[in-house]
Amino acid sequence: MNTIASDLLIWARGSGFHAALALFLVGILWRLVEIYTLNHPRRCLATPLKDGPSEGFKTVFRRFLPPPGMFMRAPVTYLGGWVFHAGFFIVLFFFAPHIEIFRALFGIRWPALSNPLIELFTVAALIAMLLVLVSRITDPVKRFLSTFMDYFGWVLTFLPLLTGWLAWHELLLPYTWSLALHVLTADLLLALLPFTRLLHGVTAFPSRWYTGVWFGRKGVQS
Amino acid sequence: MSATLERGLNAFRNFLNAPAASFFASCVHCGLCAEACLFYTESRDPRLAPIHKLEPMRRLWEREFTLLGRIQAMLGLKPEVTDDELEQWSELVFDTCTLCGRCSLVCPVGNDLVYLIRRMREGMAASGHAPADLLGATRRNLEKGSAMGVTLDTLMAQIRHQEEELGVEIPLDREGVDYMVLLSSMEIVQFPEYIGAVARIFKQAGVTWTISTQAFEATNGGIQIGVPDIARRIVMRTVEVAERLKVGTVICPECGHGFRALRWEGEDLIGRKYGFKVQHILEVLDELRAQGRLPLDNLRDDRPLTYHDPCQIVRRGGVIEQPRNLLKMVASDFREMADHGVMNWCCGGGGGVSTLERAEPWRVMAFKRKKEQIEHLGVHTLVTACANCRMVIEEDLDKYAMDIEVVGLTELVANHLRETTSKESQE
């Protein structure tokens, strides 16, 4: 049993990880080419009120926050969204063992957060993800809009967080098994990201920029 | 597949560009666009979520412009867009969207949804799924020069009436003047006092201006319905006349999308820069105010009043502070609605919705949002700067038996001018 788990862990950390990384890189490149080599709108001839590109740049950041009056209309969407995105990225980039992976890949390292803090962010992200899932199922408009791909993207993101947390606490499964599953689900997330809704992590920034430029030219902060 | 459907799908294919693909790829179905849309907030009908209004076009993008989508289409997992489907979408795209653009301002991944919905309308128009009422208005716009079928005779009658009533001259077809004033059909027919107000203000401010008998209409049905060729021809009519008369600036009236059509899209439509400037009347009035050329009486309006921002002028047009500067000048108890300025809520009748008879129940339902905003402030006077908003608001206030006076901002400013002009001119 343990041998299978160890073999799986070794594969997931080695060949599995490299295959996932390759698929991630090729996939992202493919999707970006597929999207951004389509036509671009002609340059707008109307005399602008403000500089479009700099307004576009501001919009890229402004859209992390809700516009006036919107937070109270969808508090779970906003709060849940912030907490799980922030939690996920903090754990990904500031958990000591993760930093080791980046060091092995890029040769650079940075200070890690203490384990209790990582624990806090992991649990917060897990709870927030459960909340946004419940909201997706119970909110009529979100339920109506949601497709298989929305739930699939959720599962892909949730599993590495959950298995990582289980491995840390050695809950439910023997440590080697949960760690193997953790690395395997992380590989899966990496490999499939370009082909799922999770691609928004890349495309949302140019999308915000386009809109920011168009509104900005008219003197409207967006 | 019918020829018309193919034409519609081709319109989608020709449009689908990098921003559109980026927007579609970014959507995570968070539902926030729905929370920003008054048709959804007032009905709670999930079909009205702005992103859902784009579903046929999104699926076409996925089927034909992405590798995975093409594979899924080959396996029969992604059905083609059909005529029946577009017919069903007609209500979502034309009747329950005023192109107000609030969803575009709210989307956390930054999708400009209204940009896409306009292109969706273009495909729908090309495939024969545009509502007949809108088609009729657009045809009148093109053939008679006015969406409401207003003729030059009607305009001349209203001009004469205003001249007699106010004792001011309304110059026609003058060359080399500072400003050429456009009007909307609705102003000519229902709010002709706008013409008189402009005449009084300009006389007081000492600017030269004219109305053209060849191109007086600001409305652009081609923009509303989504037929760029018609939109181009309507813009061109104004451009030719304004350049022939060598005017400095063309002024768009209190008409939302007419302003957007000429100020923000016209030059792209005709493929060159204009030989004149385009401003909204509120921009001009605010400039005159700043230059001290709007002498006012000392009787500021002390009624509690609020301002309804027309979407195409504020959020899609960038005229944000000017109306507020003017209102603060003439009114002592100006109260802002909770969501105002670029975050205003639409009246419910923009984007051609007010033209559609079949959309009336939707429009009246959507007005509940504005009703609540007005009631919350406890005012009995509402000022606005779009003839279409004004007409829709007046009609819907009536439907909800609300006793609120609706006033055009230009008219309100004119009513507070220091009336020395007629005496001086007689002397």
pLDDT in tens, chain B (427 residues): 788 899 999 999 999 999 999 999 999 999 999 999 999 999 999 999 999 999 999 999 999 999 999 999 999 999 999 999 999 999 999 999 999 999 999 999 999 999 999 999 999 999 999 998 888 877 777 777 676 778 899 999 999 999 999 999 999 999 999 999 999 988 898 899 999 999 999 999 999 999 999 999 988 878 777 788 888 999 999 999 999 999 999 999 988 788 989 999 999 999 999 999 999 999 999 999 999 999 888 778 899 999 999 999 999 999 999 999 999 999 999 999 999 999 999 999 998 899 899 999 999 999 999 999 999 999 999 999 999 999 999 999 999 999 999 999 999 999 999 866 444 444 4
Q: Give residue for tokens 């080599």.
A: A37
CA B379 to CA B404: how far, in whole Å? 8
Six token digits for residue B368: 């509940």
Tell if the CB–CB gap between A70 and B265 is shorter than 8 Å: no
CA A89 to CA A116: how far, in whole Å? 16
CA B199 to CA B196: how far, in whole Å? 5
Query: What part of B 326-345 touches A (C-beta under 8 Å)?
Result: 338-339, 342-343
pTM, rounded to two decimals:
0.94
Q: How close does chain B come to A109, measured CA to CA in Å? A: 30
Query: What part of A 34-93 touches B (C-beta under 8 Å)?
Result: 34-42, 44-47, 49, 59-60, 63-64, 66-70, 73-74, 77, 81
Rg (CA), chain B: 22
B359 DSSP assignment: G
CA B7 to CA B29: how far, in whole Å? 29
Is the CB of residue A20 less than 8 Å from the CB of residue A190?
Answer: yes
* A77-103 confidence digits (pLDDT tens): 999 999 999 999 999 999 999 999 999
Q: Which helix (H) or strand (E) holds B41?
A: helix B38-43
Largest CA distance in chain B: 86
Q: Is residue A1 very low, low, confident or very high in pLDDT (cuts 50, 70, 90)?
A: low
Contacting residues for B321 by C-beta, under 8 A, at least 6 apart: B286
Report the pLDDT value the prediction gives residue B224, as an integer from 0 to 100.
Answer: 72
Residues A116, A120, A122, A127, CA torsion sign: positive
Partners of A216 on chain B (C-beta within 8 Å) are none
* A150-205 confidence digits (pLDDT tens): 999 999 999 999 999 999 999 999 999 999 999 999 999 999 999 999 999 999 99
Report the pLDDT value the prediction gives residue A67, as an integer from 0 to 100.
Answer: 95
- Closest partner residue to B17 among A31, A41, A45, by Cβ? A41
Is the CB of residue B194 less than 8 Å from the CB of residue B253?
Answer: yes
By C-alpha distance, the chain A residue nearest B341 is A220
Tell if the CB–CB gap between A142 and B16 is shorter than 8 Å: no
The ipTM is 0.96
- Closest partner residue to A70 among B22, B25, B106, by Cβ? B106
Give me the amino acid identity at A56. Answer: G
Six token digits for residue B332: 């002592």
Report the pLDDT value the prediction gives residue A70, as an integer from 0 to 100.
Answer: 96
Report the pLDDT value the prediction gives residue B426, as an integer from 0 to 100.
Answer: 43
Q: Backbone dihedral region of B63: left (phi > 0), alpha (psi from -120 to 50 degrees) or beta?
A: alpha
Tell if the CB–CB gap between B22 and A210 is shorter than 8 Å: yes
CA B286 to CA B313: how far, in whole Å? 14
Partners of A40 on chain B (C-beta within 8 Å) are 17-19
Is the CB of residue B38 less than 8 Å from the CB of residue A73?
Answer: no
Report the pLDDT value the prediction gives residue B419, as an integer from 0 to 100.
Answer: 67
Tell if the CB–CB gap between A199 and B25 is shorter than 8 Å: yes
CA B173 to CA B211: how far, in whole Å? 6
A3 touches chain B (CB under 8 A): no
CA B422 to CA B217: how far, in whole Å? 29
SS3 B381: strand
Residue B177, CA distances (Å) to A209, B50, B172, B275, B290 in order: 40, 44, 11, 14, 21
Tell if the CB–CB gap between A200 and B27 is shorter than 8 Å: yes
* A22-71 confidence digits (pLDDT tens): 999 999 999 999 999 999 988 789 999 999 999 999 999 999 999 999 99
Six token digits for residue B179: 């400003």
Six token digits for residue B353: 């919705």
- The DSSP string of B173-210 is S-SS-SEEE-B-HHHHHT-THHHHHHHHHHHHHT--EE
CA B180 to CA B246: how far, in whole Å? 9
Long-range contacts of A175-183 (CB under 8 A, 24+ apart): A176/A2, A176/A5, A176/A6, A176/A9, A177/A5, A179/A9, A180/A5, A180/A6, A180/A8, A180/A9, A180/A12, A183/A9, A183/A12, A183/A13, A183/A16, A183/A17
B266 touches chain A (CB under 8 A): yes
By C-alpha distance, the chain A residue nearest B111 is A207
Q: For chain A, first and last CA: distance in Å?
A: 56
- The DSSP string of B363-374 is HHHHTHHHHHHH
Residue ranges of E strands in B203-308 = 209-210, 249-252, 277-280, 305-308
